[in-house]
């Protein structure tokens, strides 16, 4: 029997969850595994979490996949993470079954500062096109993304068209259609929000957990969502 596509939700009742997916390396180290094994498990856990999130009141799930600062990591580790992102954007069949639409945000591919490899760009474009018809949860992957870079981009783009105010910045963000973040999740015991959606998360609840990203599960997500509904 073919899987049933989840129905389109009432988007007025839904929330926007942002996730800083931290702790893959520490998860691996505790198991005497290479850091790359932690990143692999983290990618698998994101797929599991997407399946959970579509059953909750989550309309937008935005995850910090790879930051503008992460390029300084060891070359082999970066190469492994790039391969995992290509795999993530290749999960189109399952995303369509879940009625999930994929988006990406980061430094524009055509900009001089962008560093996203061509093969990852192709996977991103294909995933966006192949899930464009879906009407359920929106999964946004931030790749080669930094909030400061986004705000500089927005300010420069706004200034080229007229006066710069908050509304102008809003209009020129990478994805201006994204609603404000309702709850920001940070895993693995770090009590900071790094350089992730600083503009969009003003006023958001913040859920800090000691749980490393590969172990972030339905109970953890429910605890984060409870902050919005309290």
Which residues are part of the catalytic machinery? 22, 70
Distance separating alpha carbons of residues 163 and 155, to the nearest angstrom: 10
Q: Which residue has the tokens 């969502």?
A: 225
Distance separating alpha carbons of residues 68 and 174, to the nearest angstrom: 14
Contact 184, 205 (CB under 8 A): yes
Q: Counting Cβ atoms within 10 Å, is residue 8 exposed (0-12), middle (13-18) or buried (19+)?
A: exposed
Per residue in 86-99, is it b (16+ CB within 10 Å) or e — as a string?
bebbebbeebbbbb
List strands edge to edge, sheet with 205-208.
101-105, 138-145, 58-67, 15-20, 183-186, 205-208
Residue 83: its H or E element = helix 75-89
Strands (E), 26-182: 58-67, 101-105, 138-145
Instruction: Please report the sign of the dihedral spanned by the C-alpha atoms of residue 133, residue 135, residue 137, residue 143.
Output: positive
Distance separating alpha carbons of residues 225 and 56, to the nearest angstrom: 9
């Amino acid at each position: 029997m073919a899987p049933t596509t989840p129905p389109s939700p009432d988007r007025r009742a839904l929330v926007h969850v942002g996730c800083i997916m931290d702790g893959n390396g520490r998860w691996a180290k505790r198991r005497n595994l290479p850091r790359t094994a932690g990143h692999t498990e983290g990618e698998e856990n994101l797929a599991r979490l997407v399946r959970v999130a579509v059953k909750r009141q989550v309309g937008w799930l935005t995850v910090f996949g790879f930051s503008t600062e992460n390029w300084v990591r060891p070359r082999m580790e970066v190469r492994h993470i790039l391969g995992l992102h290509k795999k993530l954007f290749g999960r189109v069949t399952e995303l369509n079954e879940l009625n999930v639409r994929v988006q990406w945000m980061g430094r524009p591919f055509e900009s001089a500062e962008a560093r996203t490899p061509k093969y990852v760009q192709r996977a991103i474009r294909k995933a966006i096109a192949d899930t464009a018809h879906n009407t359920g949860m929106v999964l946004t992957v931030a790749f080669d993304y930094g909030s400061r870079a986004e705000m500089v981009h927005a300010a420069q783009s706004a200034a080229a068209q007229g006066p710069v105010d908050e509304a102008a910045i809003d209009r020129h963000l990478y994805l201006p259609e994204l609603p404000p973040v309702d709850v920001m999740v940070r895993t693995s015991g770090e009590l900071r929000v790094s350089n992730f959606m600083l503009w969009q998360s003003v006023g958001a609840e913040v859920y800090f957990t000691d749980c490393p990203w590969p172990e972030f599960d339905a109970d953890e997500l429910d605890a984060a969502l409870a902050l919005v509904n309290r």
